[in-house]
């Protein structure tokens, strides 16, 4: 299994008291596209169902393996972290997270080997207070106040997408970057700034002005660029050529 698949396998999506089997199918498809496979259904109104299979659009493996439970506690079995998705803040005081903040927490927990659940409520009534009380935090997708409720499977999609992005950003690519593609370190940057300062002198850039301010400005510019070693070499090459041309212009050097 790849690193991402291993993390994703620790995340389950739990749908509570789903009324429309079509939403179960759409949710299965939504999580499958983002690399997740584990769906737990708590007291679904109808399941299995043809409508669920139709809307899964090929994510039948997710539906086939979906667990069906009578109670939320059973769907959460073995979980170390449960996050409840809710359009509205309920009477209950849980920390509220954005999908992005939630994704970071899920990823951190899964990286420690913990099992994580994302819990979604019924289409009409959402998650009950007792259901949210089994969660460690609430996640609210920042929709508009006067029309805040997303379709269930679309809420699943948004959250699964955020998780996928977080995992892609966090998980190192299969091969570590080649050494020369590493960002230049402080000592290499210092050598570059010395070369740059010397070159600016050689080409008589300063014209009597103090070099301090311009050097600080140039440092800021190049720090922002976060150059790798290869890019730094190209710049050293350009500076060396400029120095050579300056020597030539002064009649000191010889043409290459």
| Residues with Cβ within 8 Å of residue 108, at least 6 apart in sequence | none
Q: What is the smallest separation between the CB atom of 34 and ligand SAH, expressed in angstroms?
A: 16
Question: Closest CB to ligand SAH among 42 and 85?
Answer: 85
Q: How many residues bind ligand SAH (CB under 6 A)?
A: 18
Contacting residue, 88, 89, 112, 217, with ligand SAH by CB under 6 A: 88
Q: What is the smallest separation between the CB atom of 24 and ligand SAH, expressed in angstroms?
A: 12
| Nearest residue to ligand SAH, by Cβ distance, number only | 126
> Which range, of 64-72, 117-125, 179-187, 209-217, touches ligand SAH by CB under 6 A?
117-125
> Which range, of 62-70, 102-110, 147-155, 246-254, touches ligand SAH by CB under 6 A?
147-155
Question: Closest CB to ligand SAH among 97 and 227?
Answer: 97
Question: Closest CB to ligand SAH among 36 and 222?
Answer: 36
- Report if residue 87 touches ligand SAH, rule: CB under 6 A: yes
Contacting residue, 8, 83, 135, 155, with ligand SAH by CB under 6 A: 155
Question: Closest CB to ligand SAH among 101 and 229?
Answer: 101
- Report if residue 123 touches ligand SAH, rule: CB under 6 A: yes
Mask for 124-143, x = binds ligand SAH (CB under 6 A): --xx-----------xxx-x
Measured from the Cβ of residue 184, the count of other Cβ atoms closer than 10 Å reads 22
- Report if residue 227 touches ligand SAH, rule: CB under 6 A: no
Chain-centroid distance, C-alpha 4: 12
Burial of 2 (0-12, 13-18, 19+ CB in 10 A): exposed
Q: What is the smallest separation between the CB atom of 109 and ligand SAH, expressed in angstroms?
A: 19
Question: Closest CB to ligand SAH among 134 and 244?
Answer: 134
What one-character-per-residue DSSP string does the chain give?
--HHHHHHHTEEEEEES-S-HHHHHHHHHHHHHTT--EEEEES-SS-S-HHHHHHHTTTHHHHHH-EEESSHHHHTTT-SEEEEE-SS--SS---EE-HHHHHHHHHHHHHTT--EEEEE-BTTTB--HHHHTTSSEEE-----GGG-PPPHHHHHHHHHHHHHHHHHHHSPPSSPPPGGGSBP-HHHHHHHHHHHHHHHHHTT-STTS-HHHHHHHHHHHHHHHT-BHHHHHHHHHHHHHHHHHHHHHTT-S---
Question: Closest CB to ligand SAH among 126 and 196?
Answer: 126
Residues that bind ligand SAH (CB under 6 A): 85-88, 120-121, 123, 126-127, 139-141, 143, 148-150, 152, 155
């Amino acid at each position: 299994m790849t690193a991402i698949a291993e993390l994703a396998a620790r995340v389950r999506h739990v749908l509570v008291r789903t009324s429309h089997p079509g939403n179960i199918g759409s949710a299965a498809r939504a999580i499958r596209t983002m690399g997740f496979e584990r769906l737990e259904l708590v007291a679904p109104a109808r399941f299995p169902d043809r409508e669920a299979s139709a809307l899964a659009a090929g994510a039948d493996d997710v539906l086939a393996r979906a667990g069906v439970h009578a109670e939320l506690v059973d769907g959460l079995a073995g979980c170390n972290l449960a996050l409840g998705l809710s359009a509205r803040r309920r009477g209950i005081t849980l920390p509220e997270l954005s999908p992005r903040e939630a994704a970071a927490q899920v990823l951190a927990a899964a990286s420690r080997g913990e099992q994580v659940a994302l819990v979604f409520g019924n289409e009409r009534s959402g998650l009950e207070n007792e259901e949210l009380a089994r969660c460690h935090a609430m996640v609210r997708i920042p929709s508009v106040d006067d029309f805040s409720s997303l379709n269930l499977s679309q809420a699943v999609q948004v959250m699964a997408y955020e998780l996928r992005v977080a995992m892609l950003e966090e998980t190192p690519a299969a091969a570590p970057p080649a050494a020369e593609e590493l960002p230049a370190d402080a000592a290499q940057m210092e050598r570059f700034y010395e070369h740059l300062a010397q070159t600016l002198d050689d080409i008589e850039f300063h014209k009597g002005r103090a070099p301090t301010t311009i050097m600080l400005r140039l440092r800021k510019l190049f720090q922002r660029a976060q150059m790798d070693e290869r890019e730094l070499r190209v710049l050293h090459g350009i500076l060396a050529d400029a120095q050579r041309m300056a020597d030539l212009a002064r009649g000191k050097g010889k043409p290459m």
